[in-house]
Amino acid sequence: MTDTTGTNPEDSKIITLARSARARNGVPEGAAVRDETGRTYVAGTVELESLKLSALQTAVAMAVASGAESLEAAAVVSSADVVADADRAAVRDLGGPDTPVLLAGPDGTLKSATPAGA
């Protein structure tokens, strides 16, 4: 069940994409970001011996590598109760302090929506 009551359809979409990435890859977190053109970038946690990135950091990096100039929104699906400061910083670096960061639980239920600069 995915309860994204109160979110617009585009934000619900990135929550669903983030949830799918988490489930498909069997990783602790899934994330998705939407750039200024509406393109989405989806990622899971990266845990290699020499490289560790959160799902949201990976999604932001994918957006940058693909030429995105800004972000409209970001979503992370996790069992955590808060979005890590480093994740919000990555979103803020590309999207600015007002970019909404949505946090949803593994079932897709929206836990919080806060600006990246909060």
| pLDDT, mean of residues 77-105 | 98
Round the average pLDDT of the chain to a whole number and report it: 95
| pLDDT, mean of residues 8-18 | 96
User: Which residue is associated with the tokens 């899934």?
Assistant: 30
pLDDT score, position 118: 87
pLDDT score, position 7: 79
| pLDDT, mean of residues 81-85 | 97
Domain assignments of the chain as residue spans, ordered by start: 9-115
The tens digit of pLDDT for each residue in 28-82 reads 999 999 999 999 999 999 999 999 999 999 999 999 999 999 999 999 999 999 9
Helix (H, G, I), strand (E, B) or coil at 54: coil
List the beta strands (DSSP E) in the chain: 30-35, 40-44, 46-47, 52-53, 71-77, 100-104, 110-115
pLDDT score, position 17: 98
User: Which residue is associated with the tokens 């909404």?
Assistant: 100
Cβ atoms 102, 75 nearer than 8 A? yes
Q: Report the sign of the C-alpha dihedral through residues 44, 90, 86, 115, in that order.
A: negative
pLDDT band at residue 1 under the 50/70/90 scheme: very low
pTM: 0.93
pLDDT score, position 2: 53
Class of the domain covering 9-115: alpha beta
| pLDDT, mean of residues 16-23 | 97
